[in-house]
Amino acid sequence: DAGVIQSPRHEVTEMGQEVTLRCKPISGHNSLFWYRQTMMRGLELLIYFNNNVPIDDSGMPEDRFSAKMPNASFSTLKIQPSEPRDSAVYFCASSPDWTDYEQYFGPGTRLTVT
């Protein structure tokens, strides 16, 4: 079975450019999570969706960040405009229905903003 799929795996962009990260959750999973990992702040939850609806976006750093989940099999995290401090590894994770609580993580997207 396919796990969580993220693309691209690596992204290098210049400050001010728009960046879009993509995620395909595990089929049948109802919850999807976006995390950011940096050396300074560790793993931070940015936003999560349940049944395609955003439930909690309190972790989104600022208005430059936005996330969408147009259907059960696809989500995007967009940064516009990007800044060097956005450089991090961004993980997408998905979780089965409410009776089960493990989150399964994708391989991550390493973003470098120069």
Partner 1 sequence: AQKVTQAQTEISVVEKEDVTLDCVYETRDTTYYLFWYKQPPSGELVFLIRRNSFDEQNEISGRYSWNFQKSTSSFNFTITASQVVDSAVYFCALRPFHNTDKLIFGTGTRLQVFP
Could you say whether residue 48 binds partner 1 (CB under 8 A)?
yes
Binders of partner 1 in range 52-71 (CB under 8 A): 55-56
Q: How far is the CB of 68 from partner 1 (least distance, A)?
A: 18
Instruction: Tell me the window of 20-28, 70-78, 79-87, 95-103 that interacts with partner 1 (CB under 8 A).
Output: 95-103
Burial 5-16 (b: 16+ CB within 10 A, else e): ebeeeebebeee
Torsion angles phi and psi, residue 56, rounded to 5: -145, 115
Single out the residue of 29, 26, 23 nearest to residue 8, CA to CA. 23
Among the listed residues 33, 34, 65, 90, the single contact to partner 1 using CB under 8 A: 33
